[in-house]
Amino acid sequence: MGFALARLVHATWGLPQTVLGAGVLAIAGRGCPHYRFRSARVTEWRLKRGLSLGPFIFVPRNCPRRLVVHEYGHTVQSLILGPFYLPVIVLPSLTWAGAPALERRRRHRGVSYYTFYTERWANALAERVCHEPSMR
């Protein structure tokens, strides 16, 4: 998908997460380094976790490139799912990442964060589109 077409899809089919991403950028992205990765704008923010909302990717400073590639997989999911991205990907992913009981369970059982369907699919899409390794 070309850059212009991706922007059009983010501005129409993916409008909810694009607006939300622009809001996060305005609040949490001030004074942070930014750069472009494919059709997305990457912001290196102060938090220790990644987040992808439409064409806006937020990653920790000095993170491995594999994390940026992974987050770009979520950007591709956004292009595919449009308005369904928030309930199908973002909400389950935030729950998987942030619920203390799930964090303990992953830690005790040695389960990778990236085994959850939202993350596994993002990795597969990112590696197919970017031809680079993603998170594992």
* 85-113 pLDDT tens trace: 999 999 999 999 999 999 999 999 999 99
pLDDT tens, position by position, 28-59: 998 999 999 999 999 999 999 999 999 999 99
In a domain, 136, yes or no: no
Compute the CA torsion angle 93, 51, 135, 66 (nearest 10 deg).
170
Distance CA 78, CA 41 (A): 14
In a domain, 135, yes or no: no
- Domain residues for the domain of 101 are 3-130
- Number of independent structural domains in the chain: 1
**How much is the pTM?**
0.94
In a domain, 14, yes or no: yes
Contact between 17 and 54 (Cβ < 8 Å): yes
Distance CA 16, CA 83 (A): 6
